[in-house]
Amino acid sequence: MLPKLFLERMKKLLGEEYPAFLEAFSMESRRGLRVNTIKADAETFVKEGYFSLERVPWTEDGFYIEGADKPGKSPLHAAGVYYMQEPSAMAPAVFLKVHPGDRVLDLCAAPGGKTTQLAAAMQGEGILVSNEIHPARAQILSENVERMGLGNVIVTNETPERLAAVFTGYFDKILVDAPCSGEGMFRKSEEACEEWSVENVALCAKRQDGILDCAARMLRPGGKMVYSTCTFAPEEDEGTVSRFVKRHPDFSIEPVEQREGFLCGQGKWVENPADGVENTVRLMPHRIKGEGHYFAVLQREGECDYLPKAGNGMEKGLPAQEYSLFSAFREQYLSNWTASGIYLRYGEQLYLGMEGMPALKGIRALRPGLHLGAFKKNRFEPSHALALALKPEEAKQKVNLTFAEAEQYIGGQTVSVNTQAKGWCLACVAGYSLGWGKITGTVMKNHYPKGLRI
């Protein structure tokens, strides 16, 4: 099944390690999940014993899934308590080292694993722009941002060139998980094997050069960037990084703290390797429990003692009278909800944006912050995104569902309740918000989105 020319190249590069590398492709892939620390503490989640888990060594919040457990089918997955993520793919975002308050860009973000990982590290503070150039994949990205209950994420559907024109020198940290030839996914994806060719490797490398050049324009002086791929191809890994550093002498390759099983970058595998390319990292399936991945940490020289501004300026937000229907809803149904920011209206839809967020005029934005809901005739209807962003204690009315009831709920069924409450209530499972319901008498009418029902 593996392409012949791919195998010939890897045998030449790996030498005595090649038999172990080849044997790894006959072994089963390892599944992983990463706990969403916006909603749950990782240690507490493990102790609750929902699944059999083993920690991934390069991140505190990531775990291998043991045995036959199927976390993707659990109501906890629908509640955004964790993200199903391939273990090796968890590494690049860790080494970008984002902090609350940072301005961060995830330039090639779908389906959202690394975006949601960065957002968890930011803990709701700062601005994260998450971009995907392909519309259908951008929609999937937006849905995953919603499921994880994230409020400080702007999801865009733009080209790198268009973003670079608006966000020149704006970001503190940038992640470029570049489109690549996908060799690292061969064990998991027969399609990746079928689409592989030497010509496609060269095409991907050329595309990566252009994407990185755009990213460099958007990074402030003194900022940090992580470049990553899921391929073994040196032309797309050490080669792309070397070409970038030679084109941009104000960037250097930053040393990475080595972890067990990491293989350092191989400058000998490419022509004209850049200084420090040995400080990049390869994750190889015969050395670690995960698929193939590569990443490099790139540091831009200089300092930035000013607050960079986006080319479009800042969003101003609505005056209070223009979202009074939401204020009334908030007063009636929410309790001690502390989220803050600016209110933005797009047609009938209301969003909570971030203070100081960039204006999005001329930018295709699918999600300019937290979607609060929609204005209907003389009333406000809350969104599913708002439900998932709430903690159970932030709703005045809530219904705690058993796992069996939660499965019925996400399947679209009504739920019988024994409560004096009326109107909107938050459906919860195991202490996590799951969605909205509306109580009439002894029945909670189901408002779980039809497109998400299982």
- Residue 223 near residue 173, CB atoms below 8 Å: yes
The mean pLDDT of 101-114, rounded to a whole number, is 98
Give residue 260's pLDDT: 87
The mean pLDDT of 390-407, rounded to a whole number, is 95
Q: What is the pLDDT of residues 210-223, one digit of tens each?
A: 999 999 999 999 99
Confidence of residue 147 (pLDDT cuts 50, 70, 90): very high
The pLDDT of residue 406 is above 90: yes
The mean pLDDT of 257-283, rounded to a whole number, is 95
Is 214 a catalytic site residue? Answer: no
Q: What is the pLDDT of residues 369-384, one digit of tens each?
A: 999 999 998 899 999 9
Mean pLDDT taken over the chain:
96
Question: SS3 for 203?
Answer: helix
Question: SS3 for 440?
Answer: strand
Please give the share of the chain, as a percent, with pLDDT higher than 70: 100
The tokens for 386 are 């708002």
Q: Based on C-alpha coordinates, what's the Rg of the chain?
A: 23
d(CA 77, CA 119) in angstroms, rounded, equals: 17
CB atoms within 10 A of CB 311: 15
Residue (of 307, 334, 354, 301) closest to 125 by Cα position: 354
Give residue 178's pLDDT: 98
Residue of 108, 180, 230, 425 marked active site: 230
Give residue 1's pLDDT: 83
Residue (of 351, 366, 361) closest to 315 by Cα position: 361
d(CA 193, CA 190) in angstroms, rounded, equals: 5
Question: SS3 for 309?
Answer: coil
Q: What is the pLDDT of residues 152-193, one digit of tens each?
A: 999 999 999 999 999 999 999 999 999 999 999 999 988 999
| Angle, in degrees to the nearest 10, between helices 238-247 and 198-218 | 40
The mean pLDDT of 388-416, rounded to a whole number, is 94
Predicted structure pTM score: 0.97
CB atoms within 10 A of CB 3: 17
d(CA 13, CA 21) in angstroms, rounded, equals: 11
The pLDDT of residue 338 is above 90: no
Q: What angle do CA 357, 207, 193 make, to 5 degrees?
A: 115
List, in sequence order, the alpha helices (H) in 123-168: 135-147, 160-166
The tokens for 315 are 């969003």
Give residue 306's pLDDT: 81
The pLDDT of residue 420 is above 90: no
Q: What is the pLDDT of residues 282-316, one digit of tens each?
A: 999 999 999 999 999 999 999 988 888 999 999 99
Q: The dihedral of CA 251, 255, 259, 262: what is its sign?
A: positive
